[in-house]
Amino acid sequence: MKFLPSLFTTVFSGKIGQRNISLLFKYILALIMLISIYSVIFHYLMAAEGQEHSWITGFYWIMVVMSTLGFGDITFTSDIGRIFSVFVLLSGVVLLLVLLPFIFIKFFFAPWMEAQAKNRAPRELPPEAKGHVIITNYDPVTMGLIEKLVNYNQQYVVVVENLQRTLELYDLGVSVALGSIDDPQTYKRLRVENASLVVATNSDQVNTNIAFTVREMSERVPVFVTADSPHSVDILTMAGSSHVLLLYEMLGKSLANLTIAGDCRSNIIGRYEGLIIAQSPVVGTPLEGKTILESDLRKLYGISVVGIWQRGKFILPRPETVIDRTSVLVFAGSQHALEAYDEVYSFYHICKVAGDPVIIIGGGRVGLAAAARLREREIPYLIIEKSQKKARPGDSYVFGDAADINTLEKAWFEKAPAALITPHNDDTNIYLTKYLRSLRPDMQILSRASADRNVSTLHRAGADFVISNASLGANSIFNYLRNEDTLLLTEGLNVFHLRVPETLIGKQLSASGIREETGCTVIAISRNGKMWINPEADTVIKKDDELILIGTFDAEKTFLHEFGSPARLGNA
């Protein structure tokens, strides 16, 4: 019963509905006229054969033949009558069996289905919506961001302009809203004035439009945008963007920061209030071959080894864990503690032979950003690039194909301590990673990944470290939302903080099971406005404490599952 009212409401409403009714009326009028003409011809032909029938019988015969129900009680005996019967039958097939169902689907059923789909696709948030994140594009970066938002019970909505795409994402469980990303009314319906962040990861031109549009509705809400070109940063800022992320530049710098070349000075990769997260290679230092307990770093310098990277795998160290030459230690400590460490270990130089350069494969934006960072660290490098047109003044190049052994030999590949693989194509990166690893088993290989699904493949191919655009971008946006400057330590590793779950209140760290059950490590506790860095194992967790932890994304998920997510995402 509910179908008919909604059907008629859909069909008769709007200009399109009125046009459909006009066409339907013309069709019915033409059909009635044709039936009337056929009826007159029927009577004329029947009279010629000596048969007399009423007008109602004539209409009856016409409808029976046109609907292909068949003959039986009334038939022609002459050839001309039978030819007329065939003509009526064929016109009935076209008008009633072909055209009529099409008209019904086109003018009735399809508009009704579209109306039902539009009703199912959300267009606005409730008036009480507050603190949500508005996302204007659904891509690998925002997919990673959404996953983190869901883990922390943070509300979000993705604006989608296409109805079919909206329904697809809705069916996948994504919080979506149908609307135009450059329409102020869209953001009004999404309560942008109460949002905690607007995220735009579209093209630079579209992001500029979005920033202007959002600023038209709200001057308060932060707008986080990504940029493909450094020349767009000022334009996006003037348009109203609160933060512009050059993802390729951050990706290149992150790869360069992980490179074990130059001296063994600790490399700061994140901060949270007074806590500093840093990492440092140990090759060529007295730490090689020692256990964590024997290194005595906590007692000597006040820093804790909270993790170790070994051949691209992050492990949680134990006192008996041995530090080998390929290890990269992840530290947590204060600024003073890290300066004390650097004062001793910065004298140890990884490159035994002076002038041995790091190889950067690819002279694109990521490769050039990595080169700039290595130059800041005073680490020599060579860029392998196919096209001489991409050469930039001031950089050292070897032109040729990195898959060619002759090109590698020109780049002093046999002595290079590390290779950075920066092309945008993951298939190329996997091939080059496997090729370089077969030639140099002892070399450190770092690679970018455009798609998250290829991260594990690159590791299997032999990469020591892999950083993907998606994870790096998602983590940067999430940290901006939380007012932090902690970056993605490397693929899959993160520092996160939250209020103490009720299940941990009153427990000692050693008895909490955090490390054993989740794989996370508590690196600091914020209490009464003070930061307790590297708390002792017998520290009791109190009600109003805030825990700062380090771990992989899977470990973070496990922690939130085992001990409970915070009621709402807290800002640092």
Q: Are residues 236 and 273 in the same domain?
A: no
Q: Is the pLDDT of residue 256 over 90?
A: no
Say which residue, 430 or 120, is predicted with more confidence. Answer: 430
Read off the pLDDT of each residue in 132-139 and give the average, rounded to a whole number. 94
Domain count across the chain: 4
What does DSSP assign to residue 444? E
HSE value, Cβ hemisphere, 13 Å, CA-based, for 66: 22
Whether 469 is in a domain gets the answer no
Render 151-213 in DSSP notation, one character per residue. HTT--EEEEES-HHHHHHHHHTT--EEE--TT-HHHHHHTTGGG-SEEEE-S-HHHHHHHHHH
Torsion angle of the four alpha carbons 400, 401, 405, 410, in this order, in degrees rounded to the nearest 10? 30
Last residue within a domain, chosen from 181, 206, 241? 241
**Which domain CATH number covers 115?**
1.10.287.70
Q: Is the pLDDT of residue 35 over 90?
A: no
pLDDT at 567: 41
Whether 270 is in a domain gets the answer yes
Under 8 Å between Cβ of 159 and 135: yes
Render 446-467 in DSSP notation, one character per residue. EEEESSGGGHHHHHHHT-SEEE
Q: Are residues 112 and 13 in the same domain?
A: yes
Q: Are residues 97 and 137 in the same domain?
A: no
pLDDT at 517: 86
Q: What is the pLDDT of residues 325-346, one digit of tens each?
A: 767 888 888 888 888 888 887 7
Q: What is the pLDDT of residues 267-315, one digit of tens each?
A: 777 777 778 888 787 777 888 889 988 888 888 888 888 888 776 567 7
**Which domain CATH number covers 559?**
3.30.70.1450
Contacts of 243 (CB under 8 A, 6+ apart): 222, 223, 224, 225, 480
Render 222-287 in DSSP notation, one character per residue. -EEEEESSTTHHHHHHHHT-SEEEEHHHHHHHHHHHT---SB---EEEEEETTEEEEEEE-TTSTT
* Angstrom distance (rounded) from CA 357 to CA 378: 11
Whether 456 is in a domain gets the answer no
Q: What is the pLDDT of residues 437-448, one digit of tens each?
A: 999 988 889 999
Q: Are residues 115 and 64 in the same domain?
A: yes
Task: Look at 275-289, 386-400, 465-479 and tell me which has the smallest mean pLDDT.
Answer: 275-289
pLDDT at 544: 82
Q: Is the pLDDT of residue 492 over 80?
A: no
Q: Is the pLDDT of residue 53 over 60?
A: yes
Whether 105 is in a domain gets the answer yes
Under 8 Å between Cβ of 388 and 363: no
**Which domain CATH number covers 148?**
3.40.50.720
Under 8 Å between Cβ of 422 and 372: no
Distances from the Cα of 401 to the Cαs of 420, 430, 435, 499, in angstroms? Answer: 15, 15, 12, 52
Last residue within a domain, chosen from 98, 120, 142? 120
Whether 109 is in a domain gets the answer yes
Whether 18 is in a domain gets the answer yes
Which residues span the domain enclosing 512? 492-563
Helix-helix angle 14-48:3-12, to 10 degrees: 100
Highest mean pLDDT among 31-45, 138-152, 421-435, 496-510: 421-435
Q: What is the pLDDT of residues 208-230, one digit of tens each?
A: 999 999 999 999 999 999 998 88
Placement of tokens 């971008």 in the chain: 473
Work out the number of other CB atoms within 10 angstroms of the CB of residue 402: 25
Q: Are residues 110 and 74 in the same domain?
A: yes
Q: Is the pLDDT of residue 542 over 60?
A: yes
* Angstrom distance (rounded) from CA 157 to CA 144: 14
pLDDT at 534: 81
Whether 421 is in a domain gets the answer no
- Residue 571 banded pLDDT, cuts 50, 70, 90: very low
- Residue 570 banded pLDDT, cuts 50, 70, 90: very low
Under 8 Å between Cβ of 187 and 177: no
Under 8 Å between Cβ of 192 and 198: yes
Contacts of 408 (CB under 8 A, 6+ apart): 359, 384, 402, 439
pLDDT at 488: 45
Q: Are residues 285 and 237 in the same domain?
A: no
Q: Are residues 139 and 164 in the same domain?
A: yes
Whether 149 is in a domain gets the answer yes
Strands 546-552 and 521-527: antiparallel
Read off the pLDDT of each residue in 245-250 and give the average, rounded to a whole number. 89
Q: Are residues 166 and 235 in the same domain?
A: yes
- Return the HEC string of 17-38: HHHHHHHHHHHHHHHHHHHHHH
Among 141, 331, 335, 147, residue whose Cα is nearest residue 248: 141
Q: Is the pLDDT of residue 417 over 70?
A: yes
Tokens representing residue 173 in the block: 């469980």
Tokens representing residue 34 in the block: 């044709």
Under 8 Å between Cβ of 382 and 363: no
Alpha helices, H only, 347-448: 365-376, 405-410, 426-439
Q: What is the pLDDT of residues 187-208, one digit of tens each?
A: 999 999 999 999 999 999 999 9
Last residue within a domain, chosen from 71, 91, 120? 120
Q: What is the pLDDT of residues 145-184, one digit of tens each?
A: 998 898 888 899 999 998 888 888 888 889 999 899 999 9
Q: Are residues 159 and 232 in the same domain?
A: yes
